[in-house]
Amino acid sequence: MLFLTRLYHTCHSHADKIALEFIEPGQSRPLSYGQLEAAVQQTMAYLQLLGVEPGDRVALQLAKGLPFILLHLATMRLGAVSLPLNPAYPPGELTYFLSDSAAKLFFCEAGAAARLNPADLPELAQTVLVDSAAPPEFAALTNSAAPAAAPPPLPGDPDRTALMIYTSGTTGRPKGAEITHGNLTANLDALHAAWGWQPDDILLHVLPIFHVHGLVVALHGALHAAATALLLPGFEAGATLAALVNRRCTVFMGVPTIHTRLVQFPGAAEFDLSHMRLLTSGSDRLPDDIFFKFRELFGHTLLERYGMTETGMNLSNPLHGERRVGSVGLPLPGVEARVVDPETETELPDGQVGEVQIRGPHVFKGYWRQPDKTAAAFTAAGWLRTGDLGLRSADGYFTLKGRSKDLIISGGLNIYPPEVELVLAEHPAVAASAVIGCPDSEWGERVTAVIVLKPGGAPAAGEIIRYCRDRLAGYKTPKTVIFVESLPRNALGKVQKAELRAALCGS
Ligand code: MCA
């Protein structure tokens, strides 16, 4: 049964159960499954009033709150495509996403709209301002539509795109990954079985909801199980530990930076998490010392798993059985995974490092209006080339060993160096640049810009950082700038980043 169909039935069978509860300083706003369905239906009527039709893209650049979730679910229920966008994207990046996707509607925070120049949004039919901090105002907005006598039929085509999330690439601009209703459902069913989701689970949700991790794995995961999701607006270690204990949460999902901050929180060991049943880690490799420290402090072995925007979750350590340090575990139910020689694409024997390739019903449909890039992402036999390097051990556990792509992961977020290098290239004092990730105990990797200046140019590192900050989302902005006389290049003129990392990352 498709995810939205199952959710529809849950909203009737568990009408009085709390589906979502927003916990913010000084207030708590619970919403039952019955109320969720009523609000989604009203939001559908509102979107229809605005002219949304099946297939339309509806862009959501909203804070983590009820308006986002209602618009997201209502959009997908209408057969349209939900397009979540990071609220941190500055206008320049945003304009690209809106025009590339040809979004019909763009929902953005009232406070952020002043930064946008309508002339930059030529293809945009309509911008709707929302104050996510004031859900009653959003309810008043959606109530402007007469409620439908009967809700439109649930989307029944598993191959219809439900969700589009932009991912960057090593070349060119970011691409919209089209994720279908069938993809979402296949992955949720697999996670449901593998992680033992139950209706009495209480998830503490601290992640952003514009990525697959926070939106699909965590939020959809809880809804798929008729469980309760308690949502904090963001992650803060003290508030998270207090909520895990006080609200008797059973499930928690984080990225390594989050787990690092939890174990480093003063007095962390005094928080008794013994009632919890599942704490997961993903989006980046979990450092071994944090794996062990977490177990020592909290008595829980983090369950590490591996996924990507294009697929959702692929591999996971087991709920029952060995959770192996440094490993991302075994293929989830219905997922095929193999390791191939990147040159010949023939399968490698266990223990040898090659490219990890994935196949299964959870794998995305393709990149929006990019047939060439879609074709390049798959082998003839339908395996997705992940660009991640890894090996499979004789007992089937996978271990990741790096990336074949030029990619930095910081705090669980992917940053493609060319995007930052393009911005740096426009700075009047920069002759050449190379952006690398240096190991960092908190972020995993730290975005570091290595810059050759033009003769006479002498900007301070802080000025370069501010320049990037105005043009890029905060997490992509270099945290360190290093000026050099020249960049090491090979015979073809390509910058040798491994050499730069070896020479500069310690400094
Ligand atoms: C915030 N900053 C960052 C990051 N986050 N810099 C580098 N990397 C980051 N991830 C910047 C802020 O813009 C700010 O800069 C400065 O760092 C300090 O921010 P701080 O308040 O400390 O950050 P935070 O708000 O506490 O956020 C840290 C965080 C967050 C909680 C680790 O980044 C986070 O929630 N990460 C999870 C990401 C995630 O869900 N990834 C899943 C995608 P300034 O002061 O200049 O503004 S991958 C995925 O979905 C696949 C499918 C998968 O497998 O999971």
Sorted by sequence, the CB contacts under 8 Å of residue 492 that are 6+ apart come out as: none
Q: Give the mutation target among 257, 335, 414 for probing the ligand 1 site: most ligand atoms within 8 A of CB.
A: 257
Query: What separation in angstroms does the CA of 330 have from each of 304, 306, 315, 324?
Result: 10, 9, 5, 10
Break the chain into its structural domains and give their ranges.
29-156, 407-504
Q: Give the mutation target among 413, 443, 471 for probing the ligand 1 site: most ligand atoms within 8 A of CB.
A: 413
Distance from residue 239's CA to the centre of ligand 1 (Å): 17
Q: How would CATH label the architecture of 407-504? A: 2-Layer Sandwich (3.30)
**Which residue, judged by its Cα, is nearest atom 44 of ligand 1?**
474
Comparing CA positions, the residue from 311, 360, 313, 307 lying closest to residue 335 is 360
* Amino acid symbol at 490: N
Distance from residue 84's CA to the centre of ligand 1 (Å): 16
Strands of the 27-32 sheet, one edge to the other: 27-32, 18-24, 228-231, 202-205, 251-254, 278-281, 303-308, 312-316, 330-331
End-to-end alpha carbon distance in the chain: 55
Query: What separation in angstroms does the CA of 48 have from each of 14, 106, 180, 245, 458?
Result: 27, 14, 21, 42, 55
29-156 CATH pick, 1.10.760.10, 3.40.50.980, 3.40.640.10, 2.40.280.10: 3.40.50.980
Distance from residue 284's CA to the centre of ligand 1 (Å): 12
Distance from residue 8's CA to the centre of ligand 1 (Å): 33
Question: Measured from the CB, is residue 412 less than 6 Å from ligand 1?
Answer: yes
Identify the pLDDT of residue 506: 82
Per-residue pLDDT of the chain (507 residues; tens, 9 = 90+): 999 999 999 999 999 999 999 998 777 889 999 999 999 999 999 999 999 999 999 999 999 999 999 999 999 999 999 999 999 888 878 888 999 999 999 999 987 777 776 666 655 658 898 999 888 889 999 998 988 888 889 999 999 999 999 998 666 689 999 999 999 999 999 999 999 999 999 999 999 999 999 999 999 999 999 999 999 999 999 999 999 999 999 999 999 999 999 999 999 999 999 999 999 999 999 999 999 999 999 999 999 999 999 999 999 999 999 999 999 999 999 999 999 998 899 999 999 999 999 999 999 999 999 999 999 999 999 999 999 999 999 999 999 998 877 899 999 999 999 889 999 999 999 999 999 999 999 999 999 999 999 998 788 899 999 999 999 999 999 999 999 999 999 887 889 999 999 999 986
- Asked if residues 106 and 52 have their Cβ atoms less than 8 Å apart, the reply is no
* Amino acid symbol at 131: D
Sorted by sequence, the CB contacts under 8 Å of residue 208 that are 6+ apart come out as: 64, 86, 214, 234
**Which residue, judged by its Cα, is nearest atom 32 of ligand 1?**
411
| 211 CA closest ligand 1 atom index | 50
Identify the pLDDT of residue 126: 85
HEC per residue, 3-25: HHHHHHHHHHHCCCCEEEEEEEC
Token duo for residue 20: 């979502």
Q: What are φ and ψ of residue 352, in 5° steps?
A: -100, 140
Distance from residue 253's CA to the centre of ligand 1 (Å): 14
Question: Measured from the CB, is residue 254 less than 6 Å from ligand 1?
Answer: no
Comparing CA positions, the residue from 410, 43, 28, 35 lying closest to residue 233 is 28
Comparing CA positions, the residue from 67, 53, 12, 55 lying closest to residue 34 is 12
Distance from residue 396's CA to the centre of ligand 1 (Å): 32
**Which residue, judged by its Cα, is nearest atom 7 of ligand 1?**
475
Identify the pLDDT of residue 133: 87
Sequential DSSP letters for 35-92: HHHHHHHHHHHHHHHTT--TT-EEEEE--SSHHHHHHHHHHHHTT-EEEE--TT--HH
**Alpha carbons 447 and 120: distance in angstroms, whole number:** 29
**Alpha carbons 3 and 180: distance in angstroms, whole number:** 11
Q: What are φ and ψ of residue 321, in 5° steps?
A: 110, -175
Question: Measured from the CB, is residue 413 less than 6 Å from ligand 1?
Answer: yes
**H/E stretch holding 243:** helix 237-246
**Which residue, judged by its Cα, is nearest atom 46 of ligand 1?**
474
Question: Measured from the CB, is residue 472 less than 6 Å from ligand 1?
Answer: no
pTM: 0.94
Question: Measured from the CB, is residue 448 less than 6 Å from ligand 1?
Answer: no
Half-sphere exposure of 424 (CA within 13 A, CB side): 28
**What's the length of the chain?**
507
| 469 CA closest ligand 1 atom index | 46
Query: What separation in angstroms does the CA of 394 have from each of 271, 328, 348, 352, 461?
Result: 38, 14, 12, 11, 49
**Which residue, judged by its Cα, is nearest atom 55 of ligand 1?**
283
Using DSSP bridges, classify how beta strands 57-61 and 105-109 pair: parallel, antiparallel or unpaired.
parallel
